[in-house]
A and B are shown apart, each in its own frame.
Chain A
Amino acid sequence: MTDRRTVILARISQALGHAAAADAPAVLQRVNDHARGPQPQWAEAPRERFLAKLAKVAGTHAELASEAEIVGAVADYLAAQTLPQRLCVAPHPLLADVVWPQGWQVAHRRAQGDDRIGLAVAFCGIAETGSLMLLSGPDSPTSLNFLPDDFICLLPEDRIVPRMEDAWALLRAERGSLPRATNIITGPSRTADVEQTIQLGAHGPRRLHVLLKGGRHA
């Protein structure tokens, strides 16, 4: 289809009156500047804003003082939802040292079709919309974010940034480039395709539970 590429590009260039170039100065400048559009403003602190927006999209949360409280918080959630003690856990450094109770079935791998509960770690939180950003990689399989019925996500409090643009800046600073999948997740899965009635749990998780961890990010 190389000829089609030439044909289409020629038509565009003719309409615009210039020759196509991936390194045109206007393009390079724009792509490297990362100029931001108008930034929505609000009064609350990022943490308060994040939690308020998370609640608005039917996400729940628990507050943890440290990593040591992860097991307790997950146990509480499973008990409250009357769920089995069977977890699929992301092979993430922040979860590596967690000692799960005897008798729990805990797998560290990508998710499979019959996994009920997934646990992963967010790259950061976005206060503006109460969103979590997750980056695919060996320590964060994307299937975990979407296949289980219940998605539990650890978010260190100091990883909440104000806006999406701040998340991009953080991503560029820490990772350099985008992973295969960058997921911005805002609440559980939902649909309004039947008579415009909002129903949670269409294809992705039915529930989203954030473990908001205080203290310093390890």
Chain B
Amino acid sequence: MKPTSAAFSDNARRALHDATLQQALAKAGVGFVEKRRAALSDLPEFAALREAGREIKDHTLANLDHYLLRFEQQVQASGGEVHWVDTPAEACAAVLDICTRAGAKRVAKGKSMVGEEIAINDALEAAGLDVVETDLGEYIIQIAHEPPSHIIAPAVHKTRQQIADLFENLHHQPDLTRPLETVPQIVDEARQILRDTFLSADVGITGANFLIAETGSTVIVTNEGNGDLSATLPRVHIVLASIEKVVPTLEDASVLLRLLARSATGQEITSYTTFFTGPRRGEDVDGPEQFHVILVDNGRSRMLGGAYHEMLRCIRCGACLNHCPVYSAVGGHAYGWVYPGPMGAVLTPLMVGLDEGRPLPNASTLCGRCEEVCPMSIPLPQLLREHRRQEFERKLAPPRSRWALAVWAFSAQRPRLYRWASRLGSLLLNKSSRGRGRFRSLPFAEGWTAARDLPAPQGDTFMAQWQRRKPHD
């Protein structure tokens, strides 16, 4: 998908004025936050698990090449194949090649964020394949021709009415009059329609939440069961996974699974947690004949050991989105690419380039809630600041803000000048507020004063007051 992250300001403004979107966002936000809070309060060991989870990821990343090789060895030992790919184009080519060799016509797809990252659906459809998303949320946005707006709840921006209308237009022949109003009716409609996809697909594509080096297994967590049907019924199972998903053992995955479900949906565990190890065995009566793992790099090996290394610990739970005041206000589409919210504001500039993703790290107050709720303790605000630093260094910011920053930096490094200027500023603002203590409007600050008053300085700086009041010895 072509990113529109550079237009974040326009995207955000449109989102704020979209009444339907605001209605959907208001419904979603509180639910996620409250469910996570309740799940954490039920598990006194959560903090210890969080520590352990971080250690597991740090250890694995420090030995990433070893574990990837071990994983590959084990996949091959269980009869599967591993394909290493560097770029989205290579990833799509590898998947297409497998589909072509299998003579596939129809592909059942389970939810995969790496799949979104490499735009696999576009590539397969361009080659004439029939690709059907089977996760309900993904199916909804596929038929709406939209990208996901949340990494675990892709259709969170859609209201029930919008979904019912989409289904009505697509599924219903004039003589079919199944009712489509309530949530059960909508879910049932999708169940009926997608059943045929599972049964007739030649290839099933799923993502992976974890890869297990010990056993060569790929893990998916789902609630609907669509990932399992996609991986069980078609002749070929293709797993899309990025290289940082690998963990050493089943025990390590068990630690991360406890963190993942609680942080994402507030569940103790999702309905289905499945470990796939190779294709159908000799005596098996079902399961795919081929098992392929596409190991996608797409910039990750370049993050290793660098300023954004810690981002590689991310397990894609979505807690940082749910707790972000910016995401909650504008939704996921405003971010203009695959990954929204704080984790998206770190990843997008790394994956589509800082030139395109430049506004995202700036669309944050660095309030720190994301870091606080991150089960992997990723210092997201620090990584956002690192992007801003890069932006300044590479002269990507607009001249006006670079100039303003340069002036500020100049004076901040000269304490006497800084004190003199701030005293002057506060004095001027105090005088011009004419004793009211606040401004109802102020030139160059309409952005602030349009919605609220700006408190006026009291006429004296802290430093001046300190000089006057400090105890003299």
Distance from A15 Cβ to chain B, minimum over Cβ atoms (Å)? 4
Q: Select one of B90, B183, B252, B286 contacting A195, CB under 8 A.
A: B183
B389 CB-CB contact with A under 8 Å: no
Residue pair B136, A15 in contact (C-beta under 8 Å): no
User: Residues of B contacting A41 with CB < 8 Å?
Assistant: 45
Residue pair A204, B251 in contact (C-beta under 8 Å): no
CA–CA, A164 to B212, complex, Å?
15
Interface residues of A, CB < 8 Å — how many? 80
Residue of A nearest to B233 (CB): A143
A1 CB-CB contact with B under 8 Å: yes
CA–CA, A193 to B70, complex, Å?
37
CA–CA, A44 to B70, complex, Å?
39
Contact with A along B257-290 (1 / 0, CB 8 A): 1100000010011111111111111011111000
A196 CB-CB contact with B under 8 Å: yes
A16 CB-CB contact with B under 8 Å: yes
A191 CB-CB contact with B under 8 Å: yes
B156 CB-CB contact with A under 8 Å: yes
Other 7 A-B pairs with CB < 8 A, given A188-B271, A189-B272, A191-B223? A8-B301, A9-B84, A34-B249, A35-B249, A196-B28, A196-B156, A205-B225
User: Residues of B contacting A118 with CB < 8 Å?
Assistant: none
Q: Select one of A22, A109, A177, A203 contacting B134, CB under 8 A.
A: A203
Q: Select one of A13, A36, A189 contacting B224, CB under 8 A.
A: A189
User: Residues of B contacting A215 with CB < 8 Å?
Assistant: none
Segment at the interface with B among A65-73, A76-84, A134-142: A134-142
Residue of A nearest to B288 (CB): A180
Near B by CB (< 8 A), chain A positions 150-196 give 163-165, 168, 177-196
Question: Would you list 6 pairs from A and B whose C-beta atoms are within 8 A, ordered by A residue?
Answer: A37-B252, A40-B45, A57-B271, A183-B272, A192-B153, A196-B153
Residue of A nearest to B309 (CB): A15
User: Residues of A contacting B24 with CB < 8 Å?
Assistant: 195
Residue pair A27, B213 in contact (C-beta under 8 Å): yes
Residue pair B286, A4 in contact (C-beta under 8 Å): no
The 5 closest A-B pairs by CB, nearest first: A204-B225, A20-B65, A37-B255, A202-B224, A193-B137
Distance from A115 Cβ to chain B, minimum over Cβ atoms (Å)? 12
Residue pair A1, B90 in contact (C-beta under 8 Å): yes
Interface residues of B, CB < 8 Å — how many? 104
Given contacts A8-B301, A182-B274, A191-B136, contact A142 B286 (CB under 8 A): yes
CA–CA, A165 to B279, complex, Å?
24
Segment at the interface with A among B56-64, B430-438, B448-456: B56-64
User: Residues of B contacting A142 with CB < 8 Å?
Assistant: 228, 232, 286-287
Q: Select one of B187, B249, B250 contacting A191, CB under 8 A.
A: B187
Segment at the interface with A among B191-199, B335-343, B402-410, B420-428: B191-199
User: Residues of A contacting B328 with CB < 8 Å?
Assistant: none
User: Residues of B contacting A9 with CB < 8 Å?
Assistant: 65, 68-69, 84
Given contacts A145-B228, A181-B232, A192-B265, contact A110 B285 (CB under 8 A): yes
CA–CA, A137 to B68, complex, Å?
27
Residue pair A138, B283 in contact (C-beta under 8 Å): yes
Residue pair B225, A146 in contact (C-beta under 8 Å): yes
CA–CA, A30 to B60, complex, Å?
10
Residue pair A202, B251 in contact (C-beta under 8 Å): no
Residue of B nearest to A178 (CB): B277
Residue pair A203, B27 in contact (C-beta under 8 Å): no
CA–CA, A64 to B24, complex, Å?
46
User: Residues of A contacting B277 with CB < 8 Å?
Assistant: 177-182
Q: Select one of A38, A147, A189 contacting B45, CB under 8 A.
A: A38
User: Residues of A contacting B270 with CB < 8 Å?
Assistant: 186
CA–CA, A122 to B243, complex, Å?
32
Near A by CB (< 8 A), chain B positions 224-251 give 224-226, 228-229, 231-233, 243, 248-251
CA–CA, A201 to B277, complex, Å?
26
Residue of B nearest to A143 (CB): B286
